[in-house]
Chain A
Amino acid sequence: METFFIHLANGLAIGSSYVLIALGFTLIFGILDIIQLAHGEIYMLGAYCTYFLISLAGVSFFPALAISAVVIAGVGLLLERVLFRPLKNVPLLNVLLITIGLSIFLQNGATLLWTPEQRTIPTPYMTQTLRFLGLAITVQRLLVVVVSVILMIAVIFFIRHSRIGKAMRAVAQDKEGAAVAGININLIRGVTLAVGCGLASVAGSLVGPIYLVEPTMGATPVFKAFVIVILGGMGSVGGSIIGGLFLGVIENLSAAYISMALKDTISFILMVAILWVRPAGIFGKILEE
């Protein structure tokens, strides 16, 4: 029984990181209409940034996490300005291929620069454990959940109540209408990409100490983000949260009780299975018009 809760806890931890990635992904899609397949590489860059800050500059964990988030958010702004804005009117499919190209470029560029060597982000929290309800949980894992939850709440608050957040929702619903109403679309696009990339960076930094940091670490998470968004609904913040946690838990439980090999494949199988049964996705928004 105890092991069940440990798996559950692990699932919630990894699931929280999925939520952060999926949130950014779904915001970028909802507001810029872009399926950012290089989002996984943003996550990877965040992890590396934190790693280098800690191991080369001696910064401690939380400041490194925060600095990386800001740096990667800046990368996001740059991406929007330099790549996505000029491509505003290009067909969706072409943009998809462009982000794939970006993903390949970044992944392999990272491999060239930093070698395929797998690293771990050194933090003291990996060796500290907390006794909770008779279970020993690594503090780092707890941190993942706690920081993620704080960010999720912050994002929800930001979108619901801030002026920019409301503007973001307006743009997601009706771009032309929002522009007519005087909203600075380019600003919103930039903010969205900055926030999305910042969230991914935090996810990478949080998970870096637990799992391995290497150039290809973003490939499967971005796909899982997509599955989560299919499960939870494109553009739905709540859906991403529930979907992400759900997926993390299912992955860990099936890996523990059915087969290790299933860990990564379960998300794909889930997605295909759901689409067989409910072709419109769980929230019915992805059929042909």
Chain B
Amino acid sequence: MRSIKGISVFIIIVALFALPIVVKDSYFLYLAILAGIFVILAQSLNVIVGYTGQMSFCHSAFFGVGAYTSALLTMNLKFSFWVALPCAMIAGLILGLLIGYPSLRLRGPYFAIVTVGCAEVVRSILYNWVNLTGGPMGLPNIPPPDPIALGNFITLSFDTRQSYYYLVLVFALFTQLIIVKVINSKAGRAFVAIREDEGFARSIGIDIMGYKILAFSISAIFAAMAGSLYAHYILFISPVSFTIMESINVILMVIVGGMGTIVGPIFGAILLTALPELMRVLSDYRMVLYGLVLMMVMIFLPGGLVAALKLSGSFLSRAFGRLPKGVSSVGS
């Protein structure tokens, strides 16, 4: 089973790299890049929400802070993108610790609502600090990543859609690798214990606050990274892209895909990026359907797509691993 898994992962990665060569449609590539950025957002959110069981609504804040930090550093201080991106990640980390320390002490629902407040405060700052962020007008003309020279003959530049696709793909794979490693590490075990029964985890010596902060920080760092990738692709950012609805969007991706699973968020991100575009016709109804879908999924299939696949008994189900506690029952 393990080698089948390994081979299929390899095939998928090769296919992903081959994609731009096979599919030439520019709009498709645009969607693929967006999907890649959202995969990073969804996977990072999954660490705190799916694995540690703490519902967080401030992912949009980390996304936004990462985007603005990276954009401002390259625009105002003429930093190279390749320096600005790690700086954005650090900014995300700082914000994560700032929000995490006082709020992770609280019980689940209270923590969730506090994150709503934090997301709103950050959005408000981005909106009102016009001198720094351009306020509601946003930041236009963000420079794309500067080219990297490898040796004397090869220069990688990122001003085409195709090249940016590869950039995002590499970062997405990197994120996936790191997060898988974390989930399978000792820390990952602690996360799951906290999610399943926090009082019990505490009673066997697990440092609850420490691990919650770790999970939250990891999610913040990668969300900020996604923000940077987003800013230097769309080349224009404004506070309207970093609201609580954006957080809910990512939460939906994690849930619909299957929270607390390794691949669920990937499905969710791809589906929810592609779907709205396919549903252009229904654009007015889109948000109404969103609300309905969220309710239906949480009521009938809290385990998302992954749970649906497992229930259908397909042989793939064993590849997806175990489902967390609250999601393994269908309805009640």
Contact = CB atoms under 8 A, between A and B. Distances in A.
| Chains A, B in direct contact (C-beta < 8 Å) | yes
Nearest to A220: B120
Among B102, B248, B251, chain A packs the most CB atoms within 10 A around the CB of B102
Contact of A98 (B127, B248, B288, B299): B299
A289 B199 contact: yes
Given A105-B288, A261-B128, A272 B110 contact: no
Which applies to chain B's interface (DSSP): helix, strand, loop or mixed?
helix
Contacts of A109: 288, 291
Number of chain B interface residues as a range: 35 or more
A92 B108 contact: yes
Nearest to B325: A91
Interface in B176-207: 198-199
A272 B285 contact: no
Interface string B120-151: 11001001100000000000000000000000
Contacts of B291: 101-109
A288 to B, nearest CB: 5
A261 B208 CA distance: 37
Contact of A275 (B55, B102, B285): B102
A226 interface: yes
B332 A90 contact: yes
Contacts of A91: 325-326
Nearest to A274: B102
A101 B298 contact: yes
A97 B107 CA distance: 16
Interface in A170-226: 223, 226
A89 B326 CA distance: 11
Contacts of A261: 124, 127-128
A52 interface: no
Interface stretch (A58-66, A119-127, A249-257, A263-271): A263-271
A97 B102 contact: no
A47 interface: no
B295 interface: yes
B74 to A, nearest CB: 27
A275 B114 contact: yes
B327 to A, nearest CB: 8
A275 B104 CA distance: 10
Given A108-B288, A109-B288, A289-B199, A279 B294 contact: no
Given A93-B326, A101-B294, A102-B291, A276 B102 contact: yes
A112 B288 contact: yes
Among B248, B299, B326, chain A packs the most CB atoms within 10 A around the CB of B299
A35 interface: yes
Interface in A101-147: 101-109, 111-112
Contacts of B124: 261, 264-265, 268
Given A97-B294, A98-B299, A112-B288, A279 B102 contact: yes
Contacts of A167: none
Contacts of B288: 104-105, 108-109, 112
Contacts of A98: 294-295, 298-299
Contacts of A21: none
A268 B248 contact: no
B37 interface: no
B167 interface: no
A217 to B, nearest CB: 16
A153 interface: no
A265 B125 CA distance: 9
A139 B257 CA distance: 53
B328 to A, nearest CB: 11
Interface string B70-105: 000000000000000000000000000000001101
A288 B295 contact: no
Interface of B: 53, 55, 102-103, 105-110, 112-114, 116-118, 120-121, 124, 127-128, 198-199, 208, 248, 251, 255, 284-285, 287-288, 290-296, 298-299, 302, 325-326, 332
16 contacts: A87-B332, A91-B326, A93-B109, A94-B302, A97-B55, A97-B294, A98-B295, A104-B291, A105-B292, A108-B287, A223-B120, A268-B117, A275-B102, A287-B106, A288-B198, A288-B208
